[in-house]
Structure 1
Amino acid sequence: MKLIYEERDGILYFDGCDTVKLAKKYGTPLYVYSLTEIKNRIEELRKAFLDKYKNTRVAYAAKAFTSSAIFKLIDNEGLSLDVVSGGELYTAISVGFPAERIEFNGNNKLYEELVLAIEYGVGRIIVDGLEELDMIEEICQSYDKKIKVMYRITPGVNSDTHDYITTGKKDSKFGIPLDEEVFYPAVKNAIKSPFVEFYGLHFHVGSQLFDNESHLKALDILLSHIDEIRDRFAYEVKEINIGGGFGIKYTDEDRRPFEYFIDPSMKRINEHYSELNIERPNVVIEPGRSIVGEAGMTLYTIGSIKNIEGVRKYVSVDGGMTDNIRPALYQAKHNGMIANKMEMDRNDKVTVCGKCCESGDILIRDLDISKPEMGDILCVPSTGAYGYSMASNYNKNPIPAVVLAKDGEDSLIVRRQTYQDMLLNDIVPSWMD
């Protein structure tokens, strides 16, 4: 498999592109994605899941990185799409993504978002709350449509990850509780409804996971409730969605192969249905970060350097928490390197900070890098997930451009936001003149 990161004459190349030249051409901060790496990950998923097991789907979790170009790529690769907002849904439809391959997730879907989803005819709506079914039925009745729904359950399992990205425990804003007096009446209502087809169950236990235990525990719980649905209502679900959350390498983690998560789950599902002598339902997974996370990197230009003798050396860059909120939000860790000094020893220990007026705007603590100087280009790898997607205009900083690289060629896929762009929605009332 081709190396995505290479050193040539002391310069960092990414998917064949000179990163220093990219920084000069497009400016910094700059998000850069490797098309080769994204396709590598999709091919791994094909071999580990789609080609290995029949009646399976991969739905790319759009929240990891949303753009018109990435949605077009996901469509061209034949994957499905998991969206969580009207904006993500609109973006997908705008580039011709087939609505039947879209599933609509989210814990508080707005009425107008559900109208969009039903108008477009999305393949699934994954119901996350008890009131949601009523809204869906009302809209379907008015549009004379019937739509597939799945119920996202709260399996009540904990995952070994940061609390902010744990989603499967009982105390969670996500999912329908499995209390008997809550869950089964909700299932009965969906089965009896003339406006929806109750299609199956869904769970997502968390993100950035390196242990499959929580997936397997949640799966056992899900299968037991499918059995109970069969016994109570003589109804067979048609699809099981086991979410995503597969961890990637940010610093020194060892990324698990997709098979580590997929094979034990499929073994358990297949054995369960084989024992019952029933054809198993479709099985869906929802990877996002594990497709685009390591395929993306961010380039910055180093600015002021502050050395506090005996304490710390601060190296400031022209971005920060506005283009990568993860370190400030949940203490995420990253690596980094000076793209124009790859041949030099990394014998300087620095703390990389952003330009925002916040003490918490720290990107990387205690990073060993080559001696930094103003104007150097800093590369931060593995920022392909939840960088651009969570970018903001805090302190009125523009959102960076996004470039796609492949075999030494580069293409702009999201232009850099301008100061004028940021003022498009600002209005000064006439009485202020």
Structure 2
Amino acid sequence: MKTKYFDLIDQTYYFPQEEFKLDNDQLKFHDIDLMGLVEKYGAPLKFTYLPQISNNIKRAQYWFKNAIEKQGYEGNYHYCYCTKSSHFSHVLNEALNNDIHIETSSAFDIDIVKSLIAKGKLSKDNYVICNGFKRDEYIENIAELINGSHKKCIPIIDNYEELNLLDEAINEPFNVGIRIASEEEPKFEFYTSRLGIGYKNIVPFYNREIKDNKKVNLKMLHFFINTGIRDTAYYWNELLKCLKVYIQLRKICPTVDSLNIGGGFPIKNSLAFEYDYEYMVNEIIHQIKTACTEADVPVPNIFTEFGSFTVGESGGAIYEVLYQKQQNDREKWNMINSSFITTLPDSWAISKRFIMLAINRWNDEYERVLLGGLTCDSDDYYNSEQNMNAIYLPKYSKAKPLYIGFFNTGAYQETIGGFGGLQHCLIPSPKHILIDKDDEGNITTKLFSEQQTANDFLKILGYNE
């Protein structure tokens, strides 16, 4: 009878996989010695594997390049990074090594853009696509960028008032885009996105506010749906509706030459994950080309804004199982030495699931468990995998420490969790490690931030003036 943890994983999934493999009874992630990390830095810890950011960017650029060449598509492709997924400098520095552009969401994003320009990381050849609801400081920062001759800064109009606000603040001709307020899937609690302008209102808005304004050029139509880029009737229907608006605009507005299809590529959230990226890219290019050819209008340049896809698969977290509590005949609680609410907030807030695997003891017998965090909140737990209604781990033993890893956690978790700030029940943020490769391909590690201390919290709370 096969009762080892390795047997369970081997029988349930295809294993090993590209990024996961075993060395004796210990897990390696992209050849990173995870137990070596624990021995050097301790647990809990979070890490960012920087090369994976470039890997995913290059994959997407390759798919679009191939699809464009294969189908004789006459437009260009531009990869933008959606900064709100992770604003950290190490993320932006790595991403910008790959001939990409930037999408922003708020006023302070522009301050990051200015810092990158000052350091030579960004230039006037890089597009800066400005999304989000814009008021006051955001408008002023966008205007400062454009007035400073950054012609490829394109604010995306989100509501009817923004154009006038931008017009007042910007001193010279500038380009804009318009965001379509897409219709949501039937399962949503609302019918239409709060972001953007409705399909039927975009052409009238152009005729009324932009057409005769010699200072403003409509350059881009922006399209995004919350469910992401998926092979569903809903997605293709919304894309075709967007293309109808683009075609209508293109026939009366020769300056509109770009279609931004937003983000939404999924990332691996289970060892059973399947998604045909190459097929989706080819089909998107095919649908756009077909619609434009039938309408006899030039095809647009394609922009994407990948956030989670860019950075998500670079992140991970490692915890130690401190103790096991058996609360009844069936339920065993493995208590980790941190908190899901503070370190993986999406797992608590939106029931998001990440890849979860034991780091060591793969040759031990396994058991079914629930995972609990250290806070005194009943919601601080993790109880199932993406494709399974349970969690299985090597059997708890006080004499044999067990470490577990959560993988592909690199998008949003630090910002939503409030990196460096107050944490629920004052559970400290764990130390954060940056992992890279040197010129010879050897893995290197560097401590980015220490675990929070009591003094850090007391200072924030006003006790240490």
TM bucket, shorter chain: 0.7 to 0.9
Identify the residue that residue 416 of structure 2 maps to in structure 1. 390
1:199-238 aligned within 5 A: 199-207=219-227, 210-231=230-251, 233-238=252-257
Paired letter, 1:352: L
Once the two structures are superposed, residues 390-429 of structure 1 have per-residue CA deviations (whole angstroms, 9 ceiling, x without a partner) of 2232333333324224455233374135334455555579
Please give the secondary structure, in 1, of the residue aligned with 2:376. Answer: coil
For 1:97, the equivalent position in structure 2 comes to 122
Unaligned runs of 5+ in 2: 1-15, 69-74, 147-151, 385-389
Indicate the residue corresponding to 2:8 in structure 1: none
1:139 is aligned, of 169, 175, 179, to: 169
Q: Which residue number in structure 2 is paired with residue 320 of structure 1?
A: 340
Partner of 2:353 in structure 1? 333
User: What is the match of residue 407 of structure 2?
Assistant: 381
2:268 is aligned to: 249
Choose which of 197, 202, 221 in structure 1 pairs with 2:217.
Answer: 197
Secondary structure, aligned partner of 2:199: coil
- Is the 2:175–2:218 contact (alpha carbons within 8 Å) kept by the matching residues of 1? yes
- Select between 6-15 and 250-259 the one with higher mean Cα deviation: 250-259
Contact 1:352 1:364 in 2 (8 A): yes
Distance 2:414 2:232 in 1: 28
Partner letter of residue 270 of structure 1? Answer: K
Contact 1:154 1:172 in 2 (8 A): yes
SS in structure 1 of the partner of residue 224 of structure 2: coil
CA distance in 2, matches of 1:183, 1:421: 53
- C-alpha displacement of 1:263: 1.4
Query: Matched residues in 1 for 2:463 and 2:163: separation?
Result: 41
Whether 2:181 is the aligned partner of 1:154: answer yes
Could you list the per-position Cα deviations for residues 191-218 of structure 1 after superposition, in whole angstroms to 9, with x for gaps in the alignment?
Answer: 3334432112111112465434333222
Alignment of 1:6-25 (within 5 A): 6-25=21-40
For structure 1, list consecutive stretches of 5 or more residues without a partner in the other structure. Answer: none
1:403 aligns with 2:434: yes
Please state how far the C-alpha of 1:77 moved relative to its aligned partner: 0.6
CA 1:283–1:355 in structure 2 vs 1: closer, same or farther (change >3 Å)? same
- Contact 2:199 2:242 (8 Å CA) reproduced: no
Cross-structure match for 2:387: none
1:403 is aligned with what amino acid? Answer: L
For 1:223, give the aligned amino acid.
Answer: L
Asked whether the 8 Å contact 1:32–1:405 carries over to 2, the reply is no
Are 1:297 and 1:379, in contact at CA under 8 Å, matched by a contact in 2?
A: yes
3-state SS of 2:43 partner: coil
CA distance in structure 1 between the aligned counterparts of 2:330 and 2:112, rounded to whole angstroms = 47
Contact 2:50-2:434 within 8 A present in 1 as well: no
Say whether 1:175 aligns with 2:201: no
Classify the secondary structure of the residue corresponding to 2:324: strand
**Amino acid corresponding to residue 20 of structure 1 in structure 2:** M
CA RMSD after TM alignment: 2.9
SS at match of 1:87: helix
Which residue of 313, 326, 339 maps to 1:307? 326
**Corresponding residue SS for 2:40:** helix
Equivalent residue for 2:311, pick from 288, 292, 296? 292
CA contact (8 A) 2:218 2:253 kept: no
Q: What is the SS of the residue equivalent to 1:3? A: coil
Distance 1:428 1:327, change over 3 A: closer
Identity of aligned residues (%): 21
Tell me which amino acid in the other structure corresponds to 2:194: K
From the superposition, tell whether residues 42 and 336 of structure 1 become closer, same or farther in structure 2 (CA, over 3 Å).
same
Alignment of 1:257-276 (within 5 A): 257-276=276-295
Cα deviations by residue, 1:265-318 (Å, 9 ceiling, x for unpaired)? 211211222234433221111222223223322111222321123231111221
Q: Secondary structure at the match of 1:321?
A: helix
Q: Does 1:371 align with 2:395?
A: yes
For 2:71, the equivalent position in structure 1 comes to none
Report deviation, 1:252. Answer: 5.1
Q: Helix, strand or coil: the match of 2:342?
A: coil
Q: Which residue of 2 aligns with 1:57?
A: 78
On the 8 A contact 2:247/2:297 being kept in 1, the answer is: no
Write the mapping of 1:36-51 to structure 2, written as runs, cut at 5 A. Answer: 36-50=51-65
User: How far 1:369 sits from its partner (Å)?
Assistant: 1.0
**Residue deviations 1:209-268 (CA, integer Å, cap 9, x gap):** 54343332222111211233345x454511101112122221255331322322112112
The amino acid of 1:28's aligned partner reads A
Instruction: Decide whether the 8 Å contact of 1:202 with 1:243 is kept in 2.
Output: yes
- Give the Cα–Cα distance (whole angstroms) in 2 for the partners of residues 251 and 176 of structure 1: 36
- Structure 2 vs 1, CA of residues 104 and 18 (structure 1 numbering), >3 Å: closer, same or farther? same
Name the amino acid aligned to 1:60.
Y
In the alignment, what sits opposite 2:3? Answer: none
Alignment match, 1:117: 142
The question of whether the paired residues in 2 share the 8 Å contact of 1:31 and 1:296 is answered with yes
Change (3 A) 1:97 1:239: same
State the alpha-carbon separation in 2 of the partners of residues 46 and 193 from structure 1. 36
Q: TM-score, length-normalised on structure 2?
A: 0.80
Displacement after TM superposition at 1:320 (Å): 1.3
Q: Is the 8 A contact 1:64 1:292 kept in 2?
A: yes
Q: Verify the 8 A CA contact 1:17 1:405 in the aligned structure 2.
A: no
Q: Is the 8 A contact 1:48 1:259 kept in 2?
A: yes
Question: Are the equivalent residues in 1 in contact too, given 2:250–2:297 (CA < 8 A)?
Answer: no
2:153 paired with 1:126: no
User: Deviation at 1:51?
Assistant: 5.1
Deviations 1:346-392 (A, max 9, x none): x2111112222321112343211111346422101221222223223
On the 8 A contact 1:15/1:405 being kept in 2, the answer is: no
The TM-score normalised by the length of structure 1 is 0.86
In structure 1, the residue corresponding to 2:320 is in which secondary structure? strand
Change (3 A) 1:234 1:241: closer
